[in-house]
Amino acid sequence: MRCHPATPGGVALAVSAEVHPRAEGLHLSYMLRGDIAALCIPSPAAPVATDGLWQHTCFEAFVAVDGEAAYQEFNFSPSSAWAAYRFCAERARDAVAEGQRPVRLPAPQVSVTSEALTLTTRVPASALPLSPAVLSIGLSAVIEERSGRLSYWALHHPGTRPDFHHADGRTLRMAAPLI
């Protein structure tokens, strides 16, 4: 991933991510390398749905059927808190869809050392568009330093300001998992 040039961090970091479609959903793995002690890493907690995770260190996935305006956002905190949102258009929440198909995400697995943080998790197939859709996916991260500075990381930054919701940031294409 690349740090958005408008939000350079004060700590030298490398952030990477992988996504793999499986029958049970999308398997996601995020790796953060650098001086982990210089970062604010949320403490372990119960795996509960939590708003506002993007205000601190968290990892995100934005998933849409390729070519459609509707999309979903999934947030994963190293604390094990998570969030799932549905949008009918850019930044327009779809409360009706969220109520009809509520999502519960499994707790991520997190490993932290002095030099690396790894978070692995999955988005269940039941939370994704039905097959045989081609998905467009954007992977991103917000990293908080102890100084309070936030840096924004993504596979692709389409604008002059960080904006993970922008459709042009969803650059990965893959088939939806077969259910």
- What is the spatial distance between Cα 1 and Cα 32, in angstroms, rounded to a whole number? 10
**pLDDT for residue 178 is more than 70:** no
User: What's the average model confidence in pLDDT over 145-174?
Assistant: 96
- What is the spatial distance between Cα 105 and Cα 159, in angstroms, rounded to a whole number? 30
The answer to whether 84 and 73 are in contact (CB under 8 A) is: yes
The answer to whether 29 and 118 are in contact (CB under 8 A) is: yes
Where residue 14 falls among pLDDT bands split at 50, 70, 90?
Answer: very high
Where residue 177 falls among pLDDT bands split at 50, 70, 90?
Answer: confident
- What is the spatial distance between Cα 48 and Cα 140, in angstroms, rounded to a whole number? 21
Whether residue 112 is contained in a domain is answered as: yes
What is the residue range of 134's domain? 2-174
Residue 115, domain CATH = 2.60.40
Whether residue 179 is contained in a domain is answered as: no
Residue corresponding to tokens 């479609």: 21
Where residue 126 falls among pLDDT bands split at 50, 70, 90?
Answer: confident
- What is the spatial distance between Cα 39 and Cα 121, in angstroms, rounded to a whole number? 21
Predicted pLDDT at 128: 86
The answer to whether 28 and 118 are in contact (CB under 8 A) is: no
Q: Give pLDDT tens digits for 69-120.
A: 999 999 999 999 999 999 999 999 898 877 777 788 999 999 999 999 999 9
| Average per-residue pLDDT for the chain | 93
Total count of domains within the chain: 1
Whether residue 91 is contained in a domain is answered as: yes
Question: Which residues face 156 on adjacent strands?
Answer: none
Whether residue 98 is contained in a domain is answered as: yes
Structure tokens at 13: 């970091």
- What is the spatial distance between Cα 41 and Cα 29, in angstroms, rounded to a whole number? 17
Whether residue 32 is contained in a domain is answered as: yes
User: What's the average model confidence in pLDDT over 18-40?
Assistant: 95
Whether residue 75 is contained in a domain is answered as: yes
DSSP β-ladder status, 25-34 and 58-65: unpaired
Predicted pLDDT at 98: 77
